Amino acid sequence: MNASWRFGAVLQDPALGNELAQIVQTGVARGEVRATDPAETGVLLAAGYFSTVLRWISADPEPFSLPAHIDNVLDIVLRGILTDQAPS
């Protein structure tokens, strides 16, 4: 809870989520993104970003490559974790 209290304002600030929501909305309009709630998707992407950055700055030296982990978060969120195979 201490981390939530200290960093909660960053996660509650809608600025990044709003910017990402606009990008998602543009992607939906172009047919590049599955129709989802742009606001919720923006919040999810922002949370993944902030979580990764907070873990990255928590140690010295840096514990992992920030760009690689951001790419991984984006891959998980944008592609999902399920395979295209339907369960039998």
Give the model's pLDDT for residue 25: 94
Give the model's pLDDT for residue 8: 59
Tokens representing 27? 């992607």
- Cα–Cα distance, 82 to 58 (Å, whole number): 31
- Cα–Cα distance, 67 to 52 (Å, whole number): 10
- Give the domain ranges of the chain: 2-79
Tokens representing 11? 């996660």
What tens-digit pLDDT sequence spans the chain (88 residues)? 465 556 556 566 788 899 999 999 999 999 998 888 999 999 999 999 988 998 999 889 999 999 999 999 999 988 887 777 756 6
**DSSP label at residue 6:** H
